[in-house]
Chains A and B, each alone.
Chain A
Amino acid sequence: MHQEFLMGNEAIAMGAIAAGVNLVAGYPGTPSTEVLETIAKRRPEDTYVEWSINEKVAMEVGAGAAYAGARVMVTMKQVGLNVAADPLMSLEYIGVKGGMVVLVADDPGPISSQTEQDTRHFSRFSKLPCFDPSTVQEAYEMVQDAFEYSEKYKTPVFLRSTTIVSHGYAAIEVQDETEYKTNKSEGFIKDTKKWVIFPKLSYQAHINIEARNVKLAGEFSSYSKNMLLDKDSKVFPKKGIATGGFNYTYVTEALKELGKAPLLKVSTPHPFPEELAVKFLTGLDEVLCVEELDPVIERELIYICGKYQLPVKIYGKLTLDVKNSGENSLDSVMDNLAKFLGAVPAKKAAISEAEQDEMPELPVRPPVLCAGCPHRGAFYAVKQAMKGKKTIFCGDIGCYTMGNAMPLDMVDTCLCMGAGLGIAQGVNHIEPDTSCFAFVGDSTFFAASITGVINAVYNQANMTLIVLDNSTTAMTGHQPHPGTGRTMMGDVVNKVSIEGILKGIGLEFVETVNPLDHKASVDAVKRAAALPGVKAIIFKSPCIAIVKSGKSLSINQDKCINCRKCIREIGCPGLVIRNDRVIIDDSLCTGCGLCSQICPVEAIGGEADE
């Protein structure tokens, strides 16, 4: 063993490597992305890693490898699990041979997601066992436990993490390379009664799964990471706290100050460690459940109280004693516990609440497209070309969702990966006189949009597809995809051409334009919009974060008439106001030149600011 300072996601990765993982597949998504990236970086030579085209394919690639006896990890964020739901629901009935851990990172807040869905619920729904680590160290160890349980019971298992476990750092104890497990795959052995799903097989499998989960619930009651602590508390003999996942650390921090109370830590929310919970509940009058996302532990305890006729009042999200949406914080949990326990936390802040009220109005900072982002040029060109026309701009998931911000205001809808294409078609069928646009990034195009294009062509929709091709998966930290010609194994492969795919589907108007050439961009949009049928424009210019920045532009203050059209029209963060004049912040400007094409007096140019 030795110590390493690791991010939670890195710890999960190192745990999987230590468990002898043979194949890892996933699709990027905050807060899960670093797991696969770390495995790719630190993998033993014979471990196979890929960014799959989406979560569904990743799950299927994983299933195949697990059928062949490999140890497999599949990684995704919580909404990605919806995409992978189809194969996963069936896979639970089929089962696996090699251990298979499905890493899903939930996002309380949500900070970078569409929903606050709770994978612990999905675990109950799909019947997969679920492990829910509280700390970075525990995440490292639990991956390895998860592989053992998966192999023992021949089922995929969830490792559910949340943002702070995934993105928190800690110095933890990890195994040396010599202590790593190795797993030699036996290979796929043909057996149609086992690997081919049929109603009869599913019926029998359902019986087996239910029996197994009863057994697992029993086993989990003595699992070392499910814990019953301070049951004989003298300070609070009748009040207990139930928690799990990251919130366990909030609770233990808060109880340090408020006094120890009986504490149930649930590390396997499904199957729920019922026996342990009964031990915890027995003799208590009241329990507060501290968890994020859905009241999973809370409902389980209410159920157990009913089942065993235990006279314990259960409080939590359902009673609004813990907020029912958004992230908890150390302070919110401290308040919840203090109220429940009737204890008073010491106030020790440098500034009082009254002084906080005197705070000057803080600058509001919604996320925006970076200075120099080529998406800004694309959105602005479409906006200019379609000025005064009846339009809808259907957005999608990626950096370009931020095209919604003022002053661009170019995202009318955003739902989920690839949905913009279908929505544009639906609007078009109801409102034929509306010019319908769907915006999609290059990675999202491959992940979730190709079927939408085929649907539009087949069903005779009139719409314009705008592909924002910045040659990377930018939002999640620049992962490669089929259009980049690089794989996670470090191979250089043939690039899959977006233009080629669109032409292959049968689109006649497919043009590639540089979005930072404003005139050419507006012209292409105008020509596309005037045509019937399905048309596509590919705005191609690399993400500013993956290429060397150009020289900063500057504003000639003698020429500038302070009309502020540049700021009003494109809202680039590089354009700022100082002493009532517009200047360019040279630490942000990449020299993309979009503003210089908008300036009515040609005041923006290439020389450094005085």
Chain B
Amino acid sequence: MSKNIVLCGVGGQGTVLASKLISGAAMNKGISVKSAETIGMAQRGGSVFSHLRLGDDAECPMIAHGSADIIIGFEPGEAVRMLPYLKKGGQVIVSAKPVMPVTAALAGSNYNGEEMLAYLQDKVENVTVMDTETACRELGSTKIVNLLLLGAAVESGELGLSADDIRQVIKERIPEKFHQLNFQALEYAKGLNKGV
């Protein structure tokens, strides 16, 4: 198997943990992993990304434009920013919840991400938009966006990993008291229709 995965969002949204869970799950299956991510100053409210490459043929942890099998966007604008990496026929999973930059708030902008979602749905064949805000409210936590999106990525089949693979790595890496909540978040996408 060989998969190129891009995770992207805004610093502090939990992209790094999601990336760790995917690589952990792949490693458990004996799949070779290389990855690279944003660390440092940009983490403070800046645009952040993780590139993940599963499979033996990857020399370099970075992905070239037009070669990502899947983009997991934690924020609509950030998903659009990463779109040049998507290959033809690739999958986009995106949270509908916008994160307004301070610069936009100052300028009195009404940035709400809708323009971004419209662009994604217009240009990309396979897009799953997830209402993470509603899902968080239903499940009673704001800290599960990463597992919600990961669940949707599993559902799409483009991740090359199963929900059981992710559950296993959650058990290994995350304190037990959060397991149930994370499992619920992971399952959440199952109940939704694709492409909503």
A residues contacting B by CB (< 8 A) are 5, 30-31, 111-112, 136, 164, 167-171, 249-250, 252-253, 256, 329-331, 334, 347-351, 355-356, 358-360, 362-370, 399, 402, 405-407, 475-476, 564, 567-568, 571-573, 575-578, 580, 586-588
Contacts and interface: CB of A to CB of B under 8 A. Distances in A.
Nearest to A361: B115
B105 A577 contact: yes
A330 B63 contact: yes
A48 B115 CA distance: 55
Given A170-B34, A576-B100, A111 B40 contact: yes
Contacts of B123: 350-351, 355, 358
8 contacts: A167-B36, A350-B86, A356-B83, A360-B80, A360-B119, A363-B101, A363-B104, A567-B105
B196 interface: no
Given A164-B36, A169-B35, A330-B60, A347 B66 contact: yes
A365 B99 CA distance: 10
A169 B80 contact: no
A380 to B, nearest CB: 14
A350 B92 CA distance: 11
A167 B11 CA distance: 16
Interface string B81-116: 101101111100000000111111110111110011
Given A364-B101, A573-B45, A5 B86 contact: no
A349 B39 contact: no
A252 B60 contact: yes
B60 A250 contact: yes
Contacts of A170: 33-35, 61
A366 B60 CA distance: 28
B146 to A, nearest CB: 13
Given A358-B119, A365-B10, A331 B86 contact: no
Residues of A contacting B: mostly: loop
B64 A111 contact: no
A94 to B, nearest CB: 34
Interface string B153-186: 0000000000000000000000000000000000
Interface in B30-88: 32-47, 59-67, 77, 80-81, 83-84, 86-88
Looking at A365, A407, A576, the one whose CB has the most chain B CB atoms below 10 A away is: A365
Nearest to B10: A365
Nearest to B92: A350
Nearest to A566: B105
A112 B42 contact: yes
Contacts, number: 174
A576 B90 CA distance: 33
A169 B34 contact: yes
Given A168-B34, A577-B108, A249 B60 contact: yes
A350 B69 CA distance: 10
A556 B191 CA distance: 36
Contacts of A407: 106
A350 B36 contact: no
In the A-B complex, the 5 residue pairs with the closest CB atoms: A349-B66, A249-B60, A112-B40, A30-B40, A350-B86
Contacts of A348: 66-67, 87-88
Interface string B10-39: 111000000000011001000011111111
Contacts of A364: 101, 103-104
B64 A330 contact: yes
Contact of B109 (A168, A476, A577): A577
Nearest to B61: A168
A252 B61 CA distance: 12
A368 B86 contact: no
Given A349-B88, A366-B103, A567-B105, 6 more contacts: A112-B42, A249-B61, A250-B62, A350-B66, A363-B101, A577-B108
Contacts of A363: 77, 99-101, 103-104, 111
B41 A112 contact: yes
Contact of B90 (A5, A250, A350): A350
Contacts of B27: 5, 171
B87 A349 contact: yes
A168 B63 CA distance: 12
B124 interface: yes
A117 B151 CA distance: 43
A366 B11 CA distance: 11
Contacts of B64: 253, 330-331, 334
Contacts of A362: 77, 80-81
A14 B130 CA distance: 40
A232 to B, nearest CB: 21
Contact of B102 (A256, A350, A356, A573): A573
A369 to B, nearest CB: 7
A587 B9 CA distance: 15
B83 A351 contact: yes
A577 B110 contact: yes
Contacts of B34: 136, 168-171
A349 B85 CA distance: 7
